[in-house]
């Protein structure tokens, strides 16, 4: 026979757990959202407009999220258009740092190789600070193949601007033809046949 205090504690904890979990239907919906990368636009309440601080640091919040959440707490989902834009913006910044890390040292060939390697690694750290959140945010909307094609297109656009202004080289017709081929690649990747 259990003591009265144990029965009361069990009843209190059971109510808290049940209130936290919600109904079975809500629990299934949360599981689909968490693992299926689906947007639940109907379940979100209207939120107040974000301040400048929230707007600037929204993509980096994903770095500090707890990996395992209780089923009762789901973070609000940003609209798909904002996620797409943040993915593109972060990939642009990532590719700017990547291009400088990979090719910036070519202007300073007289410096020791170990210095160029260390400086490039330092710059690449900032590249990954933008690349990883961009891919995490974009994974909710794009497939890995689509993310890679987006990244390659951004890479060549950034590299074209970089080589023109940093090295003073001019782009030629064959570079434009390669760009057209990349646009065609994006067309084929984003359309299902």
Res 181: pLDDT: 87
pTM: 0.56
Tell me phi and psi for residue 172, to 5 degrees.
Answer: -115, 180
Instruction: Give the C-alpha distances (Å, rounded to integers) separating 124 from 13, 48, 85, 156, 166.
Output: 49, 36, 22, 17, 18
8 Å CB contact between 94 and 59: no
Res 123: pLDDT: 94
Res 43: pLDDT: 46
8 Å CB contact between 153 and 183: yes
Instruction: Indicate the length of the chain as a whole number.
Output: 193
CA dihedral 135, 137, 143, 145 (to 10 degrees): -20
Q: pLDDT tens digits for the chain (193 residues)?
A: 455 555 655 555 555 545 545 555 555 455 454 444 444 444 444 455 555 555 555 555 555 554 444 455 555 555 666 778 889 999 999 999 999 999 999 999 999 999 999 999 999 999 999 999 999 999 988 889 889 888 988 998 899 999 999 999 888 899 889 888 888 888 888 877 7
Closest CA to 152 of 179, 134, 127: 179
Res 141: pLDDT: 87
Res 120: pLDDT: 94
d(CA 126, CA 55): 20
Tell me phi and psi for residue 59, to 5 degrees.
Answer: -65, -25
């Amino acid at each position: 026979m259990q003591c009265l205090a144990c029965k009361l504690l069990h009843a209190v904890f059971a109510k808290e757990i049940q209130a936290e979990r919600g109904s079975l239907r809500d629990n299934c919906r949360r599981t689909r959202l968490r693992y299926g990368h689906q947007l639940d636009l109907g379940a979100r309440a209207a939120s107040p407009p974000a301040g400048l601080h929230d707007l600037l640091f929204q993509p980096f919040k994903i770095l500090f999220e707890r990996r395992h959440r209780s089923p009762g707490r789901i973070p609000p989902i940003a609209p798909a258009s904002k996620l797409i834009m943040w993915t593109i913006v972060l990939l642009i910044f990532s590719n700017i740092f990547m291009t400088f890390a990979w090719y910036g040292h070519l202007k300073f060939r007289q410096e020791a190789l170990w210095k160029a390697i260390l400086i490039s690694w330092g710059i690449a750290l900032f590249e990954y600070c933008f690349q990883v959140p961009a891919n995490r945010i974009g994974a909710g909307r794009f497939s890995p193949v689509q993310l890679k094609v987006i990244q390659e297109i951004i890479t060549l656009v950034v590299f074209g601007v970089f080589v023109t202004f940093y090295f003073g080289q001019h782009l030629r017709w064959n570079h434009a033809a390669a760009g057209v081929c990349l646009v065609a690649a994006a067309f084929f990747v984003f359309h299902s046949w």
